[in-house]
Amino acid sequence: MAEIIDNSPALEIHDLIVSYQKKPVLYGVDIAIPEGSMVGVVGPNGAGKSTLIKTVMGLVPHSHGWVKIFGGDLKNSIKRIGYVPQRESVDWDFPVSVMDVVLMGCYGGLGLHRRPGKKEKDKASEALEKVGLEAYSKRQISNLSGGQQQRVFLARALAQESDLYLMDEPFAGVDAATEVAIVELLCQIRDQGKTLIVVHHDLATAREYFDMILLLNMRVVGFGKTENVFNAELLQKTYGGRLTALSEIADKLAREKI
C-alpha cells in the first residue's frame, strides 16, 4: 500500500504535459493540493479541466511530468480516489437500476467475483438517503431527471468512501435547489477531512462554493485561496485566450515526439 506521510499533499502534480490526439491540452501544470480542501477548477471551454482530472486518474496518458496521490503512486492510491464523471459520459439507457449504480461504489472493496452483500447494500441505501433518492432506488436510470442522475453519481461516490474526490462538472444540468443541496453535501464531505477537486464552469458561484480555486487555461494561471486568486487580472488572463506561442510549440512537441 501507499506509504502515508502526514504532511504530504492529497494531490501533487509536477510539470505535467498532456496532449490529446496530437493536440496539447495541458502544459506544465505544477500544483500541490493540501488535504481537507475543496478546490474549484475554473477555466474556459477547452481549457483542459476534464483532462486534468482524467490524467490524475491515469485515464489519459501524459507525455511529461508526474502525479502523486497522498505521496504515493497512482497505482497504489487509485482506490482512495472517488470519481464523479460528467453525466454525458455514460449511456443512461443501460439496463441497471439506481441501486445497481450506487452499489458499484462498493465494488472496490470486494475481491474478484464476490457479490455485494447486505453490508454493501446498507451502505448504498445510506448514500442514497443522503442525496435524497431513496424512493427511486428500483428505477431504471433513464427514468430520472438530469439533476437526479447527477445525484446518483454523487451517491455512488459517497458509497465509495474515498479520501480524494474528483468531480467533473457535478452541477451541469442541475436546478438551483439541487445545486444548493449538492454543495451542502460536498461541504459535509470536506468537513470530514476529505479532499474535493471539482470542475466548475460558473464563475459567479465558484467564489462562494470553494475554499481554493485553480484557474486553468492549458497552463495554471493561478492557484491558491479563493480570495487571493479571484481577482480581475488573473481572471482576465484565464479567459483572455491562450498563449499562442505556447500552444503552437506544444503542438509541435507532441507531433515530433523527441
Partner 1 sequence: MSFNQIFVEPWVSHFSAYWPILVMAFFVTAACGLIGNYLVLRKISLVGDAISHSVLPGIAIAYMIAGSRSDLAMFIGALIAGIFTTLIIELIHSRSKIKKDAAIGITFTTMFAVGVILVSLYGADTDLDLDCVLFGKLDFMASKEKVFFGLPQIVLTMGFILILIILLIVLFYKELLISSFDPSFAATLGIKPRLVHYCLMCSLSVVVVSAFSSVGAILVIAMLILPAATVYLLTDRLWLMMILSILHAFLSSIIGLHLTVALKVSTAPACVVAGMFLFILSWIISPRYGLLRYLSSSFDLSTFQKEN
Partner 2 sequence: MNKSFRSVFLIFALYFLSIDQLYAARIGELVESNSWDQIKRFFTFSDRGLQLSLIGALLFGSVCGLTGSFIVVRRMALFGDAISHAVLPGVAIGFMWGMEKDPLAILVGATIAGLLGSVLVQAIVRTSRIKQDAALGIVLASFFAVGLCLIRMIQNHEGASKMSGLKTYLFGDVAVIDSSDIMTMSVIVVLTFVLFYFLYRPLLIVSFDRQFAYSLGIPVRLLDAVFQMFLVIAIVISLQAVGVVLVSAMLIIPAATAYLLADRMNKMIFLAIIIGVISAILGVFFSFLGSNLPTGPFMVISSSLLFAMAYLFSPKNGRITNWYRYLQLKSKVRKENTLKLIYHYLEKNAEAKEGVNIEVSELLRTSKGDTKGKLSSLRILEKSGSIELENKKLSLTNLGLEQASSIVRNHRLWELYLTNEANYAADHVHDDAEKVEHLLSEEKVKELELFLDHPTVDPHGKPIPGRGQV
> Which residues does residue 213 pair with via DSSP β-bridges, in sequence order?
40, 224
| DSSP secondary structure letters along 32-89 | EE-TT-EEEEE--TTSSHHHHHHHHTTSS--SEEEEEETTB-HHHHGGGEEEE--GGG
Total residues at the site for partner 2 (CB under 8 A)? 22
Residue 15's binding partner among partner 1, partner 2, none (Cβ under 5 to 8 angstroms by kind) is: partner 2
In the complex, minimum distance from the CB of residue 141 to partner 1, in angstroms, rounded to a whole number: 9
Should residue 81 be labelled a site residue for partner 1 when binding is judged by CB under 8 A?
Answer: yes
Q: Which stretch binds partner 2 (CB under 8 A): 36-44, 49-57, 187-195, 239-247?
A: 239-247
Give the count of alpha carbons within 13 A of 11, CB side only.
26
Q: Decide if 102 contacts 128 (C-beta within 8 A).
A: yes
Asked if 10 and 35 touch (Cβ cutoff 8 Å), the reply is: yes
Q: Please say which residue, 67 or 157, places its beta carbon nearer to partner 2.
A: 67
Residues in CB range of 144: below 8 A, 6 or more apart: 92, 98, 136, 152
27 binds partner 2 (CB under 8 A): yes
**83-102: contacts with partner 2 (CB under 8 A):** 93
Longest dimension (CA), the chain: 57
Indicate which single residue of 78, 203, 235, 246 sits in contact with partner 1 (rule: CB under 8 A).
78
Phi-psi region at 76: left, alpha or beta (left = phi > 0; alpha = psi -120 to 50): alpha
219 binds, among partner 2, partner 1, none (CB under 5 to 8 A by kind): partner 2
Partner from partner 2, partner 1, none contacting 101, C-beta within 5 to 8 A by type: partner 1
Phi, psi angles (nearest 5°) of residue 16: -80, 130
- Among the candidate windows 28-36, 87-95, 186-194, 238-246, which touches partner 1 by CB under 8 A? 87-95
| Whole-angstrom distance, CA of residue 92 vs CA of residue 94 | 5
Which one of residues 1, 112, 204, 245 is an interface residue with partner 2 (CB under 8 A)?
245
| Interface residues toward partner 1, by CB under 8 A | 54, 57-59, 78-79, 81-83, 85, 89-91, 94-97, 100-101, 104, 107-108, 110, 112-113, 115-116, 140, 143, 145, 156, 160, 162
